[in-house]
């Protein structure tokens, strides 16, 4: 056990985490020349294109240092704020972390939030200054920032370049010398933490775990504590680049487990594996069910594809257990699904994967968050509102609570003004402002989650010229004055465009929605009124004018009554047409509501 080291890499997006992992694998000889490729641990096409880690990966390296053979388990973590629970479980499976900071960009918000997670779990932190070979790098300044943040010595910060391979040997030496070996009771009942799972179509769910106490053997009867289900360990092994089956995985080590489970929802990240015959008395702390933060409707473009979409979503869910969906129907779009996502990036990725992996073109409705509505009759009933149409009538409604978050934004001091005004416009309250250095400011806001769902991240990048980094954590529910704004087209309610908005913003957003729809809805043979309404009260209106044939063209001169007769006849026809006419809404119209400020 004293020759095992478990560590992860913490970094903001684009600070060189995957490249550093590639170099560590090269240096320890874990990959052959044939297997080498950029971003080796990012296996999904999407990850490689966008340069982000979506699914965390684990890999085992063997390294000889001062004549001793060491086993190094690298547990990679996703960098994006949407996947912070997965990051917390990966961190809980380690004893140490490499804190990678880009020498050109300095410390960003996500680095800090993941660093706090690591410190809460008592991890040994090894600071690494990456990309020192860049012409725009300022290593001395950034080293000072890291020293201020961690309270370490400047000599502890390892200068490195993952691209050229500078400093890799020093990093491995630091991992072995500074990160403590795992501690655990070898003879205690089995206790292992699940930090990730992957669906394999041939073998069922592969579960990745870290053994904290005891050991797990092939063929052993095991039990998952939180789901309370028993399985047989058909195969256990270590995670090299390819899986290497073993007879036993001992205390302190990391491995994979195959039990033939076919449903990914049975394997929960953060759950504890124990022996079925002699279960452990204490489960690993910190387990929680992943809660979706953002909800959106996903509908097939063609209603006949509904069943096909269902099977695609089920297959996706096998790969990504944090995707939640349930059937719903909409008057405008037919049958579809109400889906829960961890955040906007997660929503984008799911939509993209549906199109790429399953060839499904889908319509996504306006994302929203889930609210709690309380009725005013005794006893008070709490209703979970994931869709604006679930909101009770205003006469029966007592109050609505919405989720709030604590948002941390780190930006250059030049952009404090624009960032503050953006957050205040989004109903944020500033709670703290700290100057990390003379150039960099950390701002903390309390704001509603619903406000950051739309276009907040894009606009934050715009007002700060790309220099602001953003991270958030949930604060719980608070009462707000919210109203449901409906959109009426030709007098009929389009439920897919309804939104729950704060009273102060309802008029502005209602007006903007009508203007945007006026641009996007094609002209018909009759006038189309577009109205935004709160209950029965119309708050905004635009009209798409009718296309008209010039019926008076054949009247040359003569009495005006001849022209009027033809126009009246046309008017009657238009009126009749309007009563039976249907308005087709293009896909862009549903997405346009997201881009009201463009």
Residue list, annotated binding site for GTP: 14-19, 130-133
Alpha carbon distance 128, 136 (integer Å): 17
Tally Cβ neighbours within 10 Å of residue 133. Answer: 14
**How is residue 166 written in tokens?**
């500078």
User: CA-CA distances (angstroms) from residue 55 to 46, 81, 321, 346?
Assistant: 11, 13, 11, 11
Q: Look at residues 143, 150, 141, 139 and name the one whose alpha carbon lies nearest to residue 112.
A: 150
Residue with tokens 């579960």: 207
CA pseudo-torsion sign 36, 11, 88, 280: positive
Q: Residues annotated as binding site? A: 14-19, 130-133
User: CA-CA distances (angstroms) from residue 232 to 220, 264, 332?
Assistant: 6, 16, 48
Helix-helix angle 306-319:344-358, to 10 degrees: 120
Q: Look at residues 569, 492, 579 and name the one whose alpha carbon lies nearest to residue 527.
A: 579
Alpha carbon distance 29, 462 (integer Å): 43
Q: What is the DSSP string of 285-332?
A: TT--PPPP-EEEEEEESSGGGHHHHHHHHHHHHHH-TT-EEEEEEETT
Alpha carbon distance 208, 344 (integer Å): 26
Alpha carbon distance 212, 408 (integer Å): 33
Cβ atoms of residues 129 and 146 within 8 Å: yes
Task: Supply the DSSP symbol for 421.
Answer: H
């Amino acid at each position: 056990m004293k020759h095992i080291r478990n560590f992860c890499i913490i970094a903001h997006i684009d600070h060189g985490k995957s490249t550093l992992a590639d170099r560590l694998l090269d240096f320890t000889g874990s990959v052959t020349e044939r297997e080498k490729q950029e971003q080796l641990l990012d296996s999904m096409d999407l990850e490689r294109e966008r340069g982000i880690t979506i699914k965390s990966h684990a890999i085992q390296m063997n390294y000889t240092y001062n004549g001793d053979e060491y086993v190094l388990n690298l547990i990679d973590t996703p960098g994006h704020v949407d996947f912070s629970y997965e990051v917390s479980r990966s961190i809980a499976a380690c004893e140490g972390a490499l804190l990678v900071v880009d020498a050109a960009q300095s410390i960003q918000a996500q680095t800090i939030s993941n660093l706090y997670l690591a410190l809460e779990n008592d991890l040994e932190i090894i600071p690494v200054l990456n990309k020192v070979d860049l012409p725009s790098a300022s290593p001395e300044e950034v080293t000072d920032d890291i020293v201020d943040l961690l309270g370490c010595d400047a000599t502890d910060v390892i200068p490195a370049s993952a691209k050229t391979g500078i400093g890799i040997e020093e990093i491995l030496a630091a991992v072995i010398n500074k990160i403590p070996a795992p501690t655990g009771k070898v003879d205690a009942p089995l206790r292992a933490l699940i930090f990730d799972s992957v669906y394999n179509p041939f073998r069922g769910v592969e579960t990745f775990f870290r053994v904290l106490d005891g050991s797990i053997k092939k063929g052993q009867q095991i039990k998952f504590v939180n789901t309370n289900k028993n399985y047989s360990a058909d195969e256990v092994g270590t995670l090299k680049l390819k899986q290497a089956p073993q007879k036993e995985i001992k205390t302190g080590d990391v491995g994979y487990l195959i039990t033939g489970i076919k449903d990914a929802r049975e394997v929960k990240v953060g759950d504890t594996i124990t022996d079925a015959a002699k279960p452990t008395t204490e489960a690993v702390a910190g387990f929680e069910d992943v809660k979706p933060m953002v909800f959106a409707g996903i509908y097939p473009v063609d209603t006949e594809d509904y069943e096909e979409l269902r099977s695609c979503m089920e297959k996706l869910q096998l790969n990504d257990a944090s995707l939640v969906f349930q059937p719903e129907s909409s008057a405008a779009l037919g049958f579809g699904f109400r889906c829960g996502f961890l955040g906007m990036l997660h929503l984008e990725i799911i939509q993209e994967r549906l199109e790429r992996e399953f060839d499904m073109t889908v319509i996504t409705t306006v994302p929203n968050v889930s609210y709690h509505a309380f009725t005013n009759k005794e006893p008070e009933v709490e209703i979970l509102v994931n869709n604006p149409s679930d909101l009770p009538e205003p006469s029966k409604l007592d109050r609505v609570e919405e989720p709030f978050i604590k948002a941390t934004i780190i930006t250059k001091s030049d952009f404090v003004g624009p960032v503050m005004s953006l957050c205040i416009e989004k109903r944020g309250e500033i709670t703290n402002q700290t100057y990390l250095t003379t150039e960099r400011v950390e701002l903390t806001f309390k704001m509603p989650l619903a406000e950051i769902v739309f276009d907040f991240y894009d606009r934050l990048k715009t007002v700060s010229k790309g220099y602001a980094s953003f991270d958030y954590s949930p604060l719980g529910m608070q009462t707000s004055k919210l109203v449901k704004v409906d959109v009426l087209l030709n007098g009929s309610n389009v439920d897919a465009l309804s939104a729950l908005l704060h009273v102060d913003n309802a008029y502005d957003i209602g007006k903007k929605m009508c203007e945007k729809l006026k641009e996007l809805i094609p002209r018909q043979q009759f006038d189309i009124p577009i109205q935004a309404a709160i209950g029965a009260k119309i708050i905004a209106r635009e009209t798409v004018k009718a296309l008209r044939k010039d019926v008076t063209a054949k009247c040359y001169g003569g009495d005006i009554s001849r022209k009027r007769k033809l126009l009246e006849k046309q008017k009657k026809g238009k009126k009749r047409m309007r009563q039976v006419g249907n308005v087709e809404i293009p896909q862009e119209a549903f997405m346009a509501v997201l881009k009201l400020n463009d």
